[in-house]
Chains A and B, each alone.
Chain A
Amino acid sequence: MAAMNPLVANPPVATPFFFYLLAGIMVVGGILVITRKNAVHSAIALITALLAQAGLYLMLYAPFVAGVQIILYAGGIMVLFLFVIMLISIERTIKERQFNKQWLVGIVAAAALGGLFISVYTKGKSLFPEGHALYPEAQNTQAIGALLFDSRTGTYMFAFEIASLLLLVAIIGAVVMAKKRI
């Protein structure tokens, strides 16, 4: 059985050192996103955090998800973010107040999320099935394809198509809102 487990077969990448490194980059990036006054600096910090997240996906033996993360988030969405941010005047954003005064709601939300995290952390083992990478890294993309589209094993086909329909609705909504006369 041990020979079948890919984590035993190729262990060198998923070391705790890399996990803490990437997690640390993500946390620092996340904090920088909300504390920087300059929106472009925030966006760059967010890109760093997203790239570190792609690294975490790689550590989980999910290279396809990591690649898609880089293409879509770091390469696509963040470019559009920057596109919009660059049109905002910096002088005005620096003068603007950064945090609003809803600290009571904020504390409640943070406490709820923190409680959730602590409870997951304390009884995580019973909540989730034990983590096994089912497929070795080399078959990851093919496995995702089979889960999505295969006629026998494709369990997520419907969910996938519905999600893409949602994106179509968003595109049409954007066109309708942006263009009065079509």
Chain B
Amino acid sequence: MNSSLMQSVVDYIQSYLSSNQTPGVAGNWFWATVYVLLVFAGVSVGVICMNWLERKILAHMQVRLGPMRVGPHGLLQPIADALKLLLKEDIIPAEADALVFWIAPFIVDLAAFTVFIVVPFGPAHAVTDMNIGILFMLGVSSLSVLGIVTAGWASNSHYPLIGALRSSAQMVSYEVAMGLAVVSAIMMTSLSAEGGTLSMIGIVQRQQEQQVWFVFKFFPLGLVAFAIFAIAMIAETNRAPFDLPEAESELTAGFHTEYSGFRWSLFFLAEYAAMMAVSSIAVTLWLGGWLRPFPSALHGAIWDQIFSLFPGLTFLFLGGLCFFNAARMPKHPFFKIQTMGLAGFGAALGLIGLVLFVSGVRERVQDIFWFSAKVAAFMYLYIWYRGTFPRYRFDQLMKVGWKVLLPTGLALLILTAVVAMRTELWAQLEGAWRP
């Protein structure tokens, strides 16, 4: 009895592995939970990496060193920060609306993390695939503004209120341009034989069928749509140069001025998770999602083999970098533990890299790798923008949103439709011309 129960549980768990579907579509509760936990852990690790990378890269852009003290090259700084934030006193201002003040960070976090259930890391590597995938992502990520607005209001203080007002005006404005760019990409999916789709996995599969990433389709129409989205998504996530809701030189810290400790760290987590979420929308819609680069120029089994080595090589490279820097550490006995730690970290990365070369793992992992690599490129761009561009004035921001991006988006939509239906249009015109 007991062994048959065990057997059925094992069968249930194994039945998913051969299905080649997302666990949500296959209806497998066990793997859906595993995927949710994996995605949550992955995004959190990504946020930790971003915390360190942002400080380091910004520092190097400004010819500084950045964090150097906690761990070798400040590698343990994010962990130290997280500990500090957890131990810090959590202050709720006396005149604040305590309940709303308490809920607001959770709304932001829920919105930022929920969208990841439809992010397609691979044809079978997503929690689920929805018929309304992209709509779901846009809708749920737009809910995060509610958290920001209520946070600013509940603080019962002037700077947060102004930050919240700015944030709501900004997000509502840029959502329109963002939506138009997305619609133009979705229009391109309808050119496949199977018809259009809103499903995130479906959109990438249409790009595979049409043999082109949508950023290059109908050049330059796809590129312009991508550019509109890339600008609007920065405004949507309140990042520099559009970080007016938290402009520190004007509003101290904007909507989260009154937040401290754990609750503030929830806002931090949500900001970076939202950045990854919108980046993955951009990657899915325009940059071919999990598809590897140069699929048509460098095609064939040999090139497939070579490109499947990339995940392992990346980890080996990172591990080698760690060893290189461990060798360059000061030879003073004070740095002995740090040097050993860095070498150990490098060894762990190298080991992961070696595991990724195993042929079974290699096939399963490469789509996740390419997707994450493309998202990582966007995350680097975010840091780069922050290091490069001065902050916009609010009226300039509104002008860009309503007077530049929106008309461009509308024109783009019409042009995409015309170019997509050009043969039908031409046939109709010819038919009308001929008597």
Using a CB–CB cutoff of 8 Å, the interface residues on chain A facing chain B are: 12, 38, 40-41, 44, 47, 63-64, 66-68, 70-71, 74-76, 78-80, 82-83, 86-87, 137-142, 145
Collect the chain A residues with CB atoms within 8 Å of residue B99's CB: 41
Please judge, given known A-B contacts A71-B138, A86-B164, A141-B198, whether A79 and B146 are in contact too, CB under 8 Å.
Answer: yes
Is the Cβ of B132 less than 8 Å from the Cβ of A79?
Answer: no
Alpha-carbon separation in the docked complex, A139 to B131 (Å): 7
Is the Cβ of A40 less than 8 Å from the Cβ of B142?
Answer: no
CB distance from B97 to the nearest CB of A (A): 7
Collect the chain A residues with CB atoms within 8 Å of residue B164's CB: 86
Collect the chain B residues with CB atoms within 8 Å of residue A82's CB: 146, 149-150, 153, 168
Report how many residues on chain B are interfacial, defined by Cβ distance under 8 Å.
Answer: 33
Alpha-carbon separation in the docked complex, A47 to B168 (Å): 15
Partner of B142, one of A38, A76, A145: A76
Is the Cβ of B135 less than 8 Å from the Cβ of A71?
Answer: yes
Collect the chain A residues with CB atoms within 8 Å of residue B132's CB: 63-64, 66-67, 140-141
CB distance from B153 to the nearest CB of A (A): 5
Alpha-carbon separation in the docked complex, A81 to B195 (Å): 38
Alpha-carbon separation in the docked complex, A156 to B130 (Å): 25
Contact mask for chain B residues 166-204; partner A; CB cutoff 8 A; 1 contact, 0 none: 001101100100000000000000000001101000000
Is the Cβ of B172 less than 8 Å from the Cβ of A47?
Answer: no
Q: Is B102 an interface residue (CB 8 A)?
A: no
Is the Cβ of A67 less than 8 Å from the Cβ of B136?
Answer: yes
Is the Cβ of B130 less than 8 Å from the Cβ of A44?
Answer: no
Collect the chain B residues with CB atoms within 8 Å of residue A137's CB: 131
Collect the chain A residues with CB atoms within 8 Å of residue B168's CB: 79-80, 82-83
Q: Is B232 an interface residue (CB 8 A)?
A: no
Pairs across A and B, CB under 8 Å, 29 listed: A40-B97, A47-B146, A63-B132, A64-B135, A64-B198, A67-B132, A70-B139, A70-B142, A71-B139, A71-B142, A75-B139, A75-B142, A75-B143, A78-B146, A79-B142, A79-B145, A79-B146, A79-B149, A79-B171, A80-B172, A82-B168, A83-B165, A86-B152, A86-B161, A86-B165, A87-B165, A139-B131, A141-B131, A142-B196
Give the residue name and chain of the A residue nearest to B136 (CB): A67
Collect the chain A residues with CB atoms within 8 Å of residue B169's CB: 83
Collect the chain B residues with CB atoms within 8 Å of residue A67's CB: 132, 135-136, 139
Is the Cβ of A86 less than 8 Å from the Cβ of B153?
Answer: yes
CB distance from A57 to the nearest CB of B (A): 11
Alpha-carbon separation in the docked complex, A130 to B85 (Å): 57
Is the Cβ of A142 less than 8 Å from the Cβ of B135?
Answer: no
Collect the chain B residues with CB atoms within 8 Å of residue A75's CB: 139, 142-143, 145-146, 175
Collect the chain B residues with CB atoms within 8 Å of residue A64's CB: 131-132, 135, 198
Alpha-carbon separation in the docked complex, A138 to B129 (Å): 10
- Name the prevailing secondary structure of the B interface residues: helix
Is the Cβ of A76 less than 8 Å from the Cβ of B146?
Answer: no
Collect the chain A residues with CB atoms within 8 Å of residue B161's CB: 86
Please judge, given known A-B contacts A71-B139, A79-B145, A82-B153, whether A63 and B130 are in contact too, CB under 8 Å.
Answer: yes
Collect the chain B residues with CB atoms within 8 Å of residue A70's CB: 136, 139-140, 142-143
CB distance from B171 to the nearest CB of A (A): 7
Alpha-carbon separation in the docked complex, A76 to B145 (Å): 10
Give the residue name and chain of the A residue nearest to B134 (CB): A67
Q: Is B100 an interface residue (CB 8 A)?
A: yes
Leading 3 A-B pairs by shortest Cβ distance? A75-B142, A70-B139, A67-B135
Alpha-carbon separation in the docked complex, A107 to B146 (Å): 35
Is the Cβ of B146 less than 8 Å from the Cβ of A68?
Answer: no
Give the residue name and chain of the B residue nearest to A75 (CB): B142
Alpha-carbon separation in the docked complex, A157 to B196 (Å): 19
CB distance from B318 to the nearest CB of A (A): 39
Alpha-carbon separation in the docked complex, A74 to B132 (Å): 17
Alpha-carbon separation in the docked complex, A87 to B158 (Å): 11
Give the residue name and chain of the B residue nearest to A138 (CB): B131
Collect the chain A residues with CB atoms within 8 Å of residue B143's CB: 70, 74-75
Collect the chain A residues with CB atoms within 8 Å of residue B154's CB: 40
Alpha-carbon separation in the docked complex, A46 to B27 (Å): 32
Alpha-carbon separation in the docked complex, A37 to B399 (Å): 37
Alpha-carbon separation in the docked complex, A83 to B166 (Å): 9
Alpha-carbon separation in the docked complex, A68 to B195 (Å): 21
CB distance from A94 to the nearest CB of B (A): 12
Give the residue name and chain of the B residue nearest to A74 (CB): B143
CB distance from A2 to the nearest CB of B (A): 19
Which residues of B105-127 have CB atoms within 8 Å of chain A's CB atoms? none
Alpha-carbon separation in the docked complex, A165 to B73 (Å): 60
CB distance from B148 to the nearest CB of A (A): 10
Give the residue name and chain of the B residue nearest to A10 (CB): B27
CB distance from A78 to the nearest CB of B (A): 7
Collect the chain B residues with CB atoms within 8 Å of residue A80's CB: 168, 172
Please judge, given known A-B contacts A76-B172, A79-B146, whether A38 and B97 are in contact too, CB under 8 Å.
Answer: yes
Give the residue name and chain of the B residue nearest to A63 (CB): B132
Give the residue name and chain of the A residue nearest to B25 (CB): A138
Alpha-carbon separation in the docked complex, A40 to B131 (Å): 34
Alpha-carbon separation in the docked complex, A140 to B135 (Å): 13
Is the Cβ of B195 less than 8 Å from the Cβ of A142?
Answer: yes
Collect the chain B residues with CB atoms within 8 Å of residue A78's CB: 146
Collect the chain A residues with CB atoms within 8 Å of residue B149's CB: 79, 82-83, 86
Given contacts A64-B132, A82-B153, 18 further A-B pairs with CB under 8 A are A40-B100, A44-B100, A47-B146, A63-B132, A64-B135, A70-B142, A70-B143, A71-B142, A74-B146, A75-B139, A75-B142, A75-B143, A79-B142, A79-B168, A82-B146, A86-B153, A141-B131, A142-B196
